[in-house]
Each structure stands twice: as C-alpha cells, then as structure tokens.
Amino acid sequence: MYIGIDIGTSEVKALLLGPDQRVIGSAGSALSVSRPHPGHSEQDPADWWTATQAALAALRAAHPAEYAATEAIGLSGQMHGAVLLGAQDRVLRPAILWNDTRSGTECAEMMADLPALSDLGGSLAMPGFTAPKLRWVARHEPEVFRQVSKVLLPKDHVRLMLTGEHVSDLSDASGTLWLDVRRRDWSDELLALTGLTRAHMPRLVEGSQAGGRLKADVAQALGLRPDTVVAGGAGDNAASAVGMGAVEAGQGFLSLGTSGVLFVVTPDYQPNAASATHAFCHAVPGRWHQMSVMLSAASALQWVSHLLGAANAGEVATRAAALSASDRAASPLFLPYLSGERTPHNDAKVRGSFHGLDFDTNAARLGYAVMEGVSFGLLDGLAALHAAGSTVSRLSLVGGGARSGFWAQMLASALDVDIVTHGGSAVGGALGAARLGALAVGAPMASVCLPPPVDTVYRPDPAERALLAPRHDLFRSLYRRP
C-alpha cells in the first residue's frame, strides 16, 4: 500500500493506494489562510502538520489493515511558498504563500540585476515565486532574514516533520527561481540575487526517489512501519500529471478550476519566458514540462453566475449550451482578466471586460461569452507553449469546469486537440504523490503511471472551429486596445 499526502492551500488530503493502483480511500482536513494586509497571503506551517495528522488518522480509522501495510509515502503540495527556518528548525514567521503579491518591486529588481534569470529559472520573476519573497523579507524584515538557516517549500516542511530531513524534489524546486532548471541543480547566480547560498537550500532528489524515512517516534504515533520510505514527491501540478499518467513527451492535461492550467510534458528543457510560460522539471527523471497559467478560469463562470442570480454555474452553462450558432456568433466577447493575467501577457493590472453588448444580450449569451473567453485565454496559452516547441494532440480535462460537456467540446474545437474527461475517477495531487511513493520503492513506471479510465472523448468540430476563429482574432486584438 502507498499513501499520498497533498498539502493544498485550503485542505490537506491523504489518499491510500493499493498495489493494483486502485484507490482504497481518502480523507481531508481543512486549512485557513491569513491575509494580514492587502496582497498578503500566509499560513502557519504548524497547521499543515496538524491537518496532515488529522487526515492520516481518518484514513487509518476507515481502513486500518490496508493503512498499516503502507510501504511508502509520497508528498505533493502547493508550490512557491516560503517557510523560513532558523536554528533548530524553528519557524521564524508565517509562511508566505503562492498567491501573495507583495514582492512585485523585488521581481523587477531581480530581472534587472540578472537578465539571464528567465533562461536559468525557466520563468520570468513573478511575485508568486519563492525567491522574490526572500528578497522582500531581507528588505522589510531584516531581523528575520538574518536568522534564516533553511528555506523550505510547504510540502517539504511536512517532510521535515515526518523524517527530520531537509529535502526537496526537482519539480517543486523549479518554482523557487533558485533552480537551474536545465541542469536540475541549484544555481549559485540565482541564489545570490536573494543573498542566499546552497547551505540555505534543502538537498535535492528526483520526485520518484526516496527523500527520507519516517522517524521512529513519528511512525509509532501515526501507526505506520518504522523507516517507511518518504518519496521526493512533487509540486501539485507535476503530481497531478503523474496521477493522470502524463509522464511522456506530448502528454498533458488542462485544469479548469479557479485558475486555468495547461501542462505538457517535454523531452528536454524548453523555456518561453517571454510569453509568461513556465518550464519546470517534471517529477520523474529525464523529463521536463511546460505550463501556461491563466488566473481566472472556472471562477469567471462562477462570478457571472452570481451576477445573473443563477443557482449555480451549471445552470448558466446549460443556458449557454442551448444557444443556436447564430446566437453564439452574436454574443459579446469577454476578456477573462478579472484578476490580471499571467500567460501570455504577464499583466497584473489588466482587467476583464465585455465587448459588443447590445439590447439582445441576455443571460445565456453572457454565460456563453464567459466560457468562450476562458477558452480563448487557454488557446493563447497553448500558442505560447507551441512557440516554445511543445506538441500535444490530446489533453485530459480536470477541475470543476470538466463537469460541463458543452465546455469540454468548445475547448476541443478552440484548441484543436482531443479533450478527454475521466468522470468520477480519482485524479489529482494526492494520487500522483502515492504513485511517486510506489516508484520510490521500486515499482515499475509502466505499471504505475497509468491514465485513469476515459469517460468521454471530445474531438474538434469543424463547424464550431469556423465560428470561433474570427471571434478569437477579435478577442486577441482587444487586449491591446485602449
């Protein structure tokens, strides 16, 4: 048996996986986020450990025999968070999270100080990443910065609690802006931008390698075997890819959740930072991946549903699906930049808008416009990945938006790729983490990294593509209009 633990922003989830890759059970424990100032987002690392113990206790209570037979644990987690440790691994301040935006000035300074930053780190410097957060702390909290002995990512602080070791994996470390992503090693040049050295960093392992073993006292408290292997694990998106069997070049997924993520596996390092994509190490050796990220995806449909007084987003999607082709062509265009945009614009200040409203605009047309606008944003992200050399012909669709067959079909036509959904199959970071645990104790990748059963396949529709193409051309032109 294998356990996967996913340290999310709102929940810690634990999943128990059998040797046949069947999910035995899962459990979760909620987390809260502190926002002490506008643009700040923090969590107490102790809360992750408390929630991890609670989730594991629930899993143990529901499946005692299988739980006790656990051979390895894998970890997945929210990326980019900064856990600052002093002497004796004392936490110096609350962790600064991925969605914290305080370090914009520091990002601009880092890009100016080291023009090669994006080639080394695979991304532009953005406030979400870890390194700018440390530069901010050095400037605004110098007493704290002087005490920093180690910097860990969220899931790696949980690993510290489990194993007593400072270790990270290459996929999660790629999101720090301290890693030379091509070489899969820390970069002295990037570390120097924040006044740090390799001594401040955890030891690096591949996600599918052992990254420590349970301490005896922890194993006893958790009801697990002493010396249980803890795998390197992965950042949340790379772990999700492993959970969907996306480990070979050209495989990928589209996550249509609060944000929108396009993830494609690449055989080598293929950055395109100019279009605000991310090129990171994958969670398995010898592979990298590219990501495009848009900041408002299914959340944009939830927003317009609330404005329209609909019971839920599904109701608005159903109304949109009932529109005729002529109604869709007459719908307004929607720019989905409700909280700025990352790929391809890297524009934190841009905001969303409707274009082409008239007296014939109704709730169904507004709902359609939002779904289409998000689809166009993802198409722009895919174009950025193509520009860096990625090729993909099929994407798994996951996240809340995957419940709409109408939207899945629109995405297939807009992106010109096959879109597949997986129904109620377990996908996500916890499953991928459990699979990485299995790999860390010798299970073969061919039998572990399998795709989940396909529920439905959506193929590009020529008539829909013909309707969407001119609207996408106008959509793209609107971003630059005053």
Residue pair 77/236 in contact (Cβ under 8 Å)? The answer is: yes
- 430 falls within a domain: no
The verdict on 219 and 270 lying in the same domain is no
Judge if 269 and 327 occupy the same domain.
yes
| pLDDT for the residue 452 | 87
Contact predicate 353/335, CB 8 Å: yes
pLDDT at 99: 85
CB atoms within 10 A of CB 226: 12
Residues 73 and 157 in one domain: yes
- Between 146-155, 230-239, 327-336, 421-430, the lowest mean confidence (pLDDT) is in 421-430
Query: What pTM was computed for the model?
Result: 0.90
Let me know whether 233 and 265 are in one domain: no
Residue 138 has pLDDT above 90, yes or no: yes
Task: Give domain status of residue 426, yes or no.
Answer: no
Among residues 6, 236, 268, 358, the one annotated as catalytic is 236
Contact at 8 Å (CB) between 48 and 56? no
Residue of 58, 73, 63, 57 lying closest to 24 (CA atoms): 63
Residues 27 and 127 occupy one common structural domain: yes
CA pair distance 397, 384, nearest whole angstrom: 19
For the chain, how many structural domains are there in total?
Answer: 2
Give yes or no: residues 275 and 253 share one domain.
yes
Pair of tokens at residue 169: 């994996």
Strands 418-421 and 394-398: parallel
- Between CA 292 and CA 344 the distance in angstroms is 8
Statement: residue 211 has pLDDT above 80: yes
pLDDT of 481 reads: 62
Q: For residue 433, tell me if it sits in a domain.
A: no
- Convert the pLDDT of each residue in 224-258 to its tens digit: 999 999 999 999 999 999 999 999 999 999 998 88
Domain check: are 206 and 266 in the same one? no
Could you tell me the end-to-end alpha-carbon distance of the chain, in angstroms, rounded to an integer? 58
Residue 441 belongs to a domain: no
What confidence category does residue 388 fall into, taking pLDDT thresholds of 50, 70 and 90? confident
**Does a structural domain hold residue 412?**
yes
Residues 253 and 225 in one domain: no
Residue 446 belongs to some domain of the structure: no
Domain that holds residue 461: 245-421+452-482
User: What average pLDDT does this structure show over 191-197?
Assistant: 98
86 and 230: one domain? yes
- Choosing from 238, 264, 297, the residue where a domain stops is 238
Can you tell me the distance from the alpha carbon of 181 to that of 176, in angstroms, rounded to the nearest whole number? 10
User: Which is more confidently placed, 330 or 399?
Assistant: 330
Burial tier of 38 (Cβ tally within 10 Å: 0-12, 13-18, 19+): exposed
In this predicted model, what pLDDT tens digit does every residue of 250-288 receive, in sequence order?
999 999 888 899 999 998 999 888 888 999 999 999 999
The answer to whether residue 381 is domain-embedded is yes
Q: Look at residues 221, 238, 255 and tell me which one is the last residue of a structural domain.
A: 238
Which pLDDT score, from 0 to 100, does residue 346 have? 83
Could you list the residues known to form a binding site for substrate, using ranges: 79-80
- Residues 152, 82: Cα–Cα separation, whole Å: 6
160/23 same-domain check: yes
Residue 482 has pLDDT above 60, yes or no: no
Q: Is residue 165 part of a domain?
A: yes
Residue 476 is part of a domain; what is its CATH number?
Answer: 3.30.420.40
Burial 330-368 (b: 16+ CB within 10 A, else e): ebbbbbbbbbbbbbbbbebeeebbbeeeeeeeebbbbbb
The verdict on 218 and 342 lying in the same domain is no
* Contact criterion met (CB below 8 Å) for 71 and 1: yes
- Does residue 294 sit in the same domain as residue 375? yes
236 included as an active-site residue: yes
H-type helices in 84-212, by residue range?
104-113, 117-121, 130-140, 142-146, 154-163, 170-173, 188-192
Average of pLDDT values for 208-237?
96
**pLDDT recorded at residue 348:** 79
For the segment 326-361, what is each residue's pLDDT rounded down to a tens digit? Answer: 999 999 999 999 988 888 998 878 899 999 999 999
Q: Which of 210, 238, 266 is the last residue of a domain?
A: 238
How large is the average pLDDT for residues 150-164? 98
Q: pLDDT tens digits for 304-334? A: 999 999 999 999 999 999 999 999 999 999 9
- Which residues does the annotation place in the binding site? 79-80
- Residue 426 clears pLDDT 80, i.e. is over it: no
